[in-house]
Amino acid sequence: MYDLQCENLTKRFGAFTAVDGVSLEIPGGSFFSILGPSGCGKTTLMRMIAGFEDPSSGDIKIKGRSVLGSPPNKRNVKMVFQHLALFPMMNVGENIAYGLRCRGASKADITRKVGAVLERIGLPDVAQKQIHQLSGGQKQRIAIARCMVLEPDVLLLDEPLGALDLKLRERMKIELKLLQHQFDTTFLYITHDQSEALVMSDHVAVMNAGKFEQIGTPQELYHNPRTAFVAGFVGDSNRWHGKVNRISNGEAEIVTSGGDTIVANCGASALSPGDSAEIFVRPDCIAFGGVRRETQNTLTGTVDSLLFNGANSRALVRIDSRELIEVAINGVDRSSPIKPGDPAHLNWAFADTQCFPAKER
């Protein structure tokens, strides 16, 4: 049984199509993210699920039942808004009690449930506080508690961390994941930040220009992107343009515009010799030195500079064809022998090299 299903959902604003034939199925109790650049239609999709916009076509089912005819207040999906939309004229307790009151719960019930949910989010003593007396992270948790106290089938979150500063965002990522486990409710999370999506989600849908490009686990998206957009949007990548020379056994030999020959795993992508292609390689798949094996690409160059960022440190290598390549290095290892100006031999497996047909430009 799926908690939430969308079938061929489409939304047009006049001639403009904001959401274009999107289908998704979210199993109960999972954390599902929609990841896409600004303006790709994520909020529109979520507003249709919440009932604030009517789809132009397609169907939305919650727990297997179509909700197209139900107004927003009759759908058991609750939403955490981008700017939280906590009610400023009510205190924290009243904010959380609002939904219960709308349902006509008894006073005793309300008091008990509000207390219990505040306990769960780890803020047992704030019920009497005013909203403006809370910190950013606390507001965040209250906004979630206000929805969770109603035990929704699905919780929708529209970039709820967008307004927070970086440090807090990092902490809230982990906290959100823990909260989702604790409440054991399906979360549909919208973000344009790939690290949020990768860290928290069981499944991620990558969205671009109103369409889903790929749905999969974070690992699948990272290691086996199915389109050039996904390869470029999820995680960091080195990227080349080139022309396909030869194809055999799902491997394409491509000559880059700089003149290097790179063999890439072209799997399902429909490439044929003579096509122009885009090549993607993750910095963390590239290694320095080592022995050349049959199944590896090799490039030589010199180390241009080092970008220290703890465990995410990078070396920029200028290869002989003048292009810069990012290579992951172990920045924590102080005995790291790599210095700017050193000659560098880079190699990485064919299997770690993705290629896709290049968009006509």
- DSSP type of residue 284: G
Total chain residues near another protein (CB under 8 A): 25
Cβ–Cβ under 8 Å, residues 252 and 271: yes
Collapsing DSSP states into helix, strand and coil, what is residue 176? helix
- In sequence order, which residues have a C-beta less than 8 Å from that of residue 151 and are 6 or more positions away? 185
- Determine, following the binding rule CB under 5 A, whether residue 43 of this chain makes contact with Mg ion: yes
Residue 213 to residue 67: CA distance in whole angstroms: 26
- Determine, following the binding rule CB under 8 A, whether residue 128 of this chain makes contact with another protein: no
Q: Which does 38 bind (CB under 5 to 8 A by kind): ligand ATP, Mg ion, another protein, none?
A: ligand ATP
Residues 150-209 that bind ligand ATP (CB under 6 A): 192
The nearest distance, CB 25 to ligand ATP, in angstroms, is 21
Q: Which does 87 bind (CB under 5 to 8 A by kind): ligand ATP, Mg ion, another protein, none?
A: another protein
Residues 41-60 that bind another protein (CB under 8 A): 50-52
CA 81 to centroid of chain Cα atoms: 18
**Binding test (CB under 8 A) with another protein, winner from 150, 200, 204, 263:** 150
- Determine, following the binding rule CB under 8 A, whether residue 87 of this chain makes contact with another protein: yes
- Determine, following the binding rule CB under 6 A, whether residue 118 of this chain makes contact with ligand ATP: no
Taking contact as CB under 8 A, which single stretch among the options 145-153, 205-213, 220-228, 262-270 is the one that binds another protein?
A: 145-153
- Please identify the residue of the shown chain whose CB is closest to the bound Mg ion: 43
Cβ–Cβ under 8 Å, residues 156 and 148: no
User: What tokens appear for 307 in the block?
Assistant: 């970008």
Taking contact as CB under 6 A, which single stretch among the options 34-42, 170-178, 219-227, 338-346 is the one that binds ligand ATP?
A: 34-42
Residue 349 to residue 60: CA distance in whole angstroms: 43
**Binding test (CB under 6 A) with ligand ATP, winner from 33, 44, 95, 353:** 44
- The interface mask with another protein, positions 57-86, x = CB under 8 A, is --------------xxx---xxx-xxx-x-
Contacts 24+ apart (CB under 8 A), 45-48: 45/6, 45/9, 45/11, 45/19, 45/190, 45/207, 46/79, 46/156, 46/158, 46/188, 46/190, 48/9, 48/11, 48/19
Total chain residues near ligand ATP (CB under 6 A): 12
> What is each CA distance from 311 to 281, 316, 331, in whole angstroms?
19, 16, 6
Q: For the chain, what is the largest distance between any 2 Cα atoms, rounded to a whole number of angstroms?
A: 75
Q: Which helix (H) or strand (E) holds 61?
A: strand 57-62
- The interface mask with another protein, positions 195-224, x = CB under 8 A, is ------------------------------
Measured from the CB atom, the residue of 45 and 299 that comes closer to ligand ATP is: 45
- DSSP type of residue 236: -
Measured from the CB atom, the residue of 190 and 279 that comes closer to Mg ion is: 190
Q: Across the strands, what pairs with 301?
A: 319, 344
- Please identify the residue of the shown chain whose CB is closest to the bound ligand ATP: 43
Give the footprint of another protein on this chain (CB under 8 A): 50-52, 71-73, 77-79, 81-83, 85, 87-90, 98-99, 102-103, 132, 146-147, 150
Give the footprint of Mg ion on this chain (CB under 5 A): 43
